[in-house]
């Protein structure tokens, strides 16, 4: 019998772990019994973020003990032999979660030698599992997905991600540009789901001045595998320090990149 493909095992494991972690987050969300704190202004942290990340880290470590781990909430662990690294956001959309808004998800990606091999996002409220494998396509609850066929910003919908890291004036400029070019701007508070929705053709684009790897790596693979365009997020120190991000339907690439003029992202 042939040995199982190790990355296929990781793809399957990521989906099972995302579902289990999402069920935990959904249970705690329904109870609404958790403490809410802040890491900084507008930067919510609940005890469920830590609990969920611990569960994910434990499951992945038990199955793949030599893999590295980068999570939003806990100290990272490099892969001892330069092998696969898991990149995890236990709850993306924490501000929504903390305020009782049912729009958040678990995001799990696996990177090997500079390539995103596996990307899984689970929205436990809608029971939607987005999963992509490099070269193997992108799926929503098992059915293939693809980006929209938009070719012009007019009539398109673009999520403009917000955080305090990039500053208010840069955000206003980005929003202004998106709106001036005729797109309808959105902000829903979960970057991971925002980019996954581009993969599913529910939105035409997503832009943000700075986003971290745990927020977007899984969704980036989804968009690529769904046929879309994504800026080179892993350039430089993107994996550890984050980068700007543009993700969109393939027909919008030129229009969106030149409309928003984000430094460092060129055609
Ligand atoms: C944030 C959300 C938000 C995005 C920020 C992220 P968190 O993550 O994804 O939509 O704009 O860049 O930091 O705090 O909800 O995990
Ligand atoms: Ca996040
Ligand atoms: Ca988070």
Mean pLDDT value of segment 232-258: 97
Residue percentage of the chain with pLDDT more than 70: 99
Residues whose CB falls within 8 Å of the CB of residue 148, separated by 6 or more in sequence, listed in order: 156, 198, 201, 203, 204, 249
Atom 15 (ligand 1) nearest CA:
93
Looking at residue 1, its pLDDT comes to: 58
For residue 73 and ligand 1, the question of a CB distance below 6 A is answered with: no
Atom of ligand 1 nearest to the CA of 208: 11
Average pLDDT, rounded, for the chain: 95
Backbone Cα Rg of the chain: 17
How far is residue 246's CA from residue 264's CA, in Å, rounded to a whole number? 11
Residues whose CB falls within 8 Å of the CB of residue 97, separated by 6 or more in sequence, listed in order: 25, 29, 44, 46, 48, 91, 104
Looking at residue 37, its pLDDT comes to: 85
Give the confidence band of 212 by pLDDT, cuts at 50, 70, 90. Answer: very high
Concatenated DSSP letters for 58-70?
Answer: HHHHHH-TT-EEE
For residue 161 and ligand 1, the question of a CB distance below 6 A is answered with: yes
Cα 154 to ligand 1 centre (Å): 26
For residue 93 and ligand 1, the question of a CB distance below 6 A is answered with: yes
How far is residue 35's CA from residue 112's CA, in Å, rounded to a whole number? 36
As given in the structure block, the two tokens for residue 51 are 């609990």
Q: Inform me whether the pLDDT recorded for 57 exceeds 90.
A: yes
In contact, 181 and 153? CB cutoff 8 Å: yes
Give the confidence band of 203 by pLDDT, cuts at 50, 70, 90. Answer: very high
- Give me the residues near ligand 2 (ion), CB cutoff below 5 Å: 89, 92, 215
For residue 94 and ligand 1, the question of a CB distance below 6 A is answered with: yes
For residue 92 and ligand 1, the question of a CB distance below 6 A is answered with: yes
Q: Inform me whether the pLDDT recorded for 191 exceeds 70.
A: yes
Atom of ligand 1 nearest to the CA of 94: 15
**Tokens 């696969």 — which residue?**
84
Looking at residue 137, its pLDDT comes to: 98
Mean pLDDT value of segment 203-209: 98
User: In whole angstroms, how far apart are CA 72 and each of 33, 181, 239?
Assistant: 22, 34, 12
What domains can you pick out in the chain, each with its CATH number? 6-144 (3.30.540.10), 153-260 (3.40.190.80)
For residue 191 and ligand 1, the question of a CB distance below 6 A is answered with: yes
Atom 14 (ligand 1) nearest CA:
94
Residue percentage of the chain with pLDDT more than 90: 87
Q: Inform me whether the pLDDT recorded for 180 exceeds 90.
A: yes
pLDDT one-digit tens code per residue, 102-157:
999 999 999 999 999 999 999 999 999 999 999 999 999 999 999 999 999 999 99
Mean pLDDT value of segment 152-177: 95
User: In whole angstroms, how far apart are CA 128 and each of 38, 52, 83, 155, 223?
Assistant: 28, 18, 30, 26, 16
Cα 223 to ligand 1 centre (Å): 18
**Tokens 């673009």 — which residue?**
158
In contact, 251 and 206? CB cutoff 8 Å: no
Looking at residue 2, its pLDDT comes to: 64
Give the confidence band of 36 by pLDDT, cuts at 50, 70, 90. Answer: confident
Cα 95 to ligand 3 centre (Å): 9
For residue 189 and ligand 1, the question of a CB distance below 6 A is answered with: yes
Looking at residue 216, its pLDDT comes to: 98
């Amino acid at each position: 019998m042939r040995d199982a493909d190790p990355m296929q095992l990781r793809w399957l494991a990521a989906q099972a772990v995302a579902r289990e972690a999402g069920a935990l987050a959904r249970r705690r969300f329904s109870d609404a019994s958790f403490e809410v704190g802040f890491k900084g202004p507008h930067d919510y942290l609940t005890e469920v973020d830590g609990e969920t990340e611990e569960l994910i880290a434990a499951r992945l470590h038990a199955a793949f003990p030599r893999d590295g781990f980068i999570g939003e909430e806990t100290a990272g662990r490099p892969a001892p032999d330069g092998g696969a690294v898991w990149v995890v956001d236990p709850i993306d959309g924490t501000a929504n979660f903390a305020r009782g808004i049912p729009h958040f998800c678990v995001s799990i990606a696996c990177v090997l030698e500079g390539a995103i091999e596996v990307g899984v996002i689970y929205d436990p409220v809608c029971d939607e599992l987005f999963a992509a494998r490099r070269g193997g396509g992108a799926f929503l609850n098992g059915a293939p997905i693809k980006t929209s066929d938009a070719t012009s910003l007019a009539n398109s919908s673009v999520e403009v991600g917000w955080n305090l890291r990039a500053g208010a004036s840069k955000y206003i400029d980005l929003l202004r540009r998106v709106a001036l070019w005729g797109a309808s701007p959105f902000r829903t508070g979960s970057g991971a789901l925002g980019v996954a929705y581009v993969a599913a053709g529910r939105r035409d684009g997503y832009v943000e001045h700075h986003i971290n790897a745990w927020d977007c790596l899984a969704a980036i693979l989804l968009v690529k595998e769904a046929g879309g365009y994504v800026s080179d997020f892993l350039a430089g120190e993107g994996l550890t320090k984050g980068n700007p991000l543009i993700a969109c339907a393939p027909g919008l690439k030129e229009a969106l990149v030149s409309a928003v003029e984000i430094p460092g992202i060129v055609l």
